Structure 1
Amino acid sequence: MTHQFELGEKFDSALLADAPRVRLSRRGMIMGLASGSVFPFISGCATNLATGESQFLLVDDATIANMSATAWTDMKAQTPQTSNSKLKGRVLNIWDRTIQGAVKQGHVSPNAQWDVAVFDTDDVNAFVMPGNRVGVYRGITELTENDDQISSVLGHETGHVVGKHAEERYSVGVAAQIGLMAGQIAVASSEELSKYGSAIGALGGAAVQFGVILPYSRKHELQADKLGVDYMHNAGYDVKQSIRLWELMAAQSEGQRPPEFMSTHPDPLRRAEELRTYINARGYALI
């Protein structure tokens, strides 16, 4: 399925595209592997205060925010923004209320600055870029049935920021590239394996994509969904509408999604069920 049905797909695509290519010579890589100098930075983990989980991070917030600055500027220059002041005011009001839910949770500074744009296209989507940059398409406001569902969308995007998903996905991408390079060198150095070098390389790339990158992405989406529910609950919105949102998204994308293991995002109905379980467990509502 295309990104227009999946909240955050713009964020994911931009992030993977921005992952740097590690440029090391074969000799340099071999020497680095022998000395341990290639991987010294792939050793530190940090605990995310919002999720309580250990994260693998190679970059800080400021670095990755700077990396996305040009993409955000280009996005706003090339994509029309709505001239409907009523729609823009509605989205910004829901945003202000939802972000206060994150502040109340202690996950966002009350002094944080945000840049929220409402784009005038039919895309059924919203996204976030590093640096507190949030994009909402008119299409998602037309699919949703009420302010509560839009709050669920905006809370989800805030969850990506709080969860440091950009930083973690970038870091995993860099580490995966280095791992693939090391594997290619090992294959090339083996007289027997070198006969099958291209086939092994293709399998290795597929294993990283389907076994590392995509599962990370789906995990982040589910995590952002749940953080978003916390924020909309704190803001006084009806959390049950987050489930309804994903039922609507499922109907919108029916017959157009690839198998989940090939997607950056979990199946919409799985997301709805995970949220149902989470809402009940948190005592926000009985569904």
Structure 2
Amino acid sequence: MTERIEFDSKILENAPRINLSRRGIISGLAAGTVFPLISSCTTNPATGRSQFLLVGDDAIATMAAAAWTDMKAETPQTSNTALKNRVLNVWNRTATGAGKQNEQWDVAVFDTDDVNAFVMPGNRVGVYRGITELTENDDQLSSVLGHETGHVIARHAAERYSIQTAAQVGLMASQIAIGQSETLSKYGAAIGALGGAAVQYGVILPYSRSNELEADKLGVDYMHNAGYDVTQSVRLWELMDANSTGARQPEFMSTHPDPANRAIALRQYINARGYALM
């Protein structure tokens, strides 16, 4: 069983694209429109952290709508009333802990073995049967749902989209500069490959892992507010670690932190916040 609690990336498939053609980049640089576009930062009210965002919540929610419709049409939903009620009850308590109880939510419980759950912008919640079977209690399920809610409140989808777009712009601009250099042009392909790897492993993946840890901590806050046992969030990642199958790739190559490291980070956070003593 592989660890798959993650923010669903399908919502970015229909995202608006910046013109990344060679001509478009050159024109943008000449007009001074490219780098102002990729220098937009805002402070997230939930985390207090400055974020680099090219799109807002409404745009991300619009992108998510089509993916959500497709998913509900293509993935079977459970007919188990007891399971649906369990998920809805845990979701309602967790949403209250996150201050989202007065909003309308579309909650679906998918009847597959996937060990996964997600909350899409636009108030769409998906929970797979597999994750409900792995969790030992409602506290752990709340940890899952709180984590996914944290992704939305922290605007991680918009942030990841923005970082990836800016990285593409930067790589294209560097390739143009290399191509115009007589000295470097013959090494252009090799330099471009190294630059792409540097961006992937040095920027995009670290951002993704940082987002996951931030969502973990926000989820613990929501669990605590809802009256759940926050220590079960640590137990959840211990279960994830124990149930992982096959060779796990090194953390620096992954979008997600190592489960054991997540458990350690959560234990430290819970102690620091005074939620419990672990």
TM-score range, shorter chain: over 0.9
The residue type equivalent to 1:158 in the other structure is: T
Partner of 1:70: 66
Compute the displacement of 1:207 (Å).
1.2
Compute the displacement of 1:254 (Å).
4.5
Partner of 1:286: 277
Compute the displacement of 1:21 (Å).
4.5
User: Which runs of 5 or more residues in structure 2 are unaligned?
Assistant: none
Partner of 2:5: 7
User: What secondary structure is seen at the aligned counterpart in 2 of 1:176?
Assistant: helix
What is the rounded CA distance, in whole Å, between the counterparts of 2:224 and 2:108 in structure 1?
24
User: Which runs of 5 or more residues in structure 1 are unaligned?
Assistant: none
Q: State the Cα deviation string for residues 16-75 of structure 1 (Å, max 9, x = none).
A: 645554324434422422442222222221111111100111111111111121111100
Say yes or no: does 1:61 pair with 2:57. yes
Say yes or no: does 1:22 pair with 2:22. no
The residue type equivalent to 2:4 in the other structure is: E
Partner of 2:46: 50
The residue type equivalent to 1:54 in the other structure is: S
Partner of 2:29: 33
Partner of 2:186: 195
1:256/1:85 Cα in 2 relative to 1: closer, same or farther (>3 Å)?
farther
Aligned residues: 278
Instruction: Provide the alpha-carbon RMSD of the alignment.
Output: 1.6
1:152/1:28 Cα in 2 relative to 1: closer, same or farther (>3 Å)?
closer
The residue type equivalent to 2:125 in the other structure is: V
What is the rounded CA distance, in whole Å, between the counterparts of 1:133 and 1:267 in structure 2?
27
Q: In 2, are the aligned partners of 1:21 and 1:177 still within 8 Å (CA)?
A: no
Say yes or no: does 1:138 pair with 2:134. no
The residue type equivalent to 1:97 in the other structure is: R
Say yes or no: does 1:271 pair with 2:262. yes
TM-score, normalising length: structure 2: 0.95
1:147/1:246 Cα in 2 relative to 1: closer, same or farther (>3 Å)?
same
Compute the displacement of 1:283 (Å).
0.6
* Residue of 171, 182, 205 corresponding to 1:180: 171
Partner of 1:92: 88
TM-score, normalising length: structure 1: 0.92
- 155-164 or 194-203, which moves further after superposition? 194-203
The residue type equivalent to 1:45 in the other structure is: C
User: What secondary structure is seen at the aligned counterpart in 2 of 1:248?
Assistant: helix
Compute the displacement of 1:200 (Å).
1.4
What is the rounded CA distance, in whole Å, between the counterparts of 1:16 and 1:271 in structure 2?
26
The residue type equivalent to 1:205 in the other structure is: G
Say yes or no: does 1:127 pair with 2:121. no
Q: State the Cα deviation string for residues 176-233 of structure 1 (Å, max 9, x = none).
A: 1111110110111111211111111111111111111111110010000000001111
- 16-25 or 111-120, which moves further after superposition? 16-25
* Residue of 198, 204, 215 corresponding to 1:224: 215
Q: In 2, are the aligned partners of 1:64 and 1:130 still within 8 Å (CA)?
A: yes
Q: In 1, are the aligned partners of 2:11 and 2:67 still within 8 Å (CA)?
A: no
Partner of 1:214: 205
Q: In 2, are the aligned partners of 1:8 and 1:128 still within 8 Å (CA)?
A: no
Percent identical pairs in the alignment equals: 74
What is the rounded CA distance, in whole Å, between the counterparts of 2:13 and 2:201 in structure 1?
17
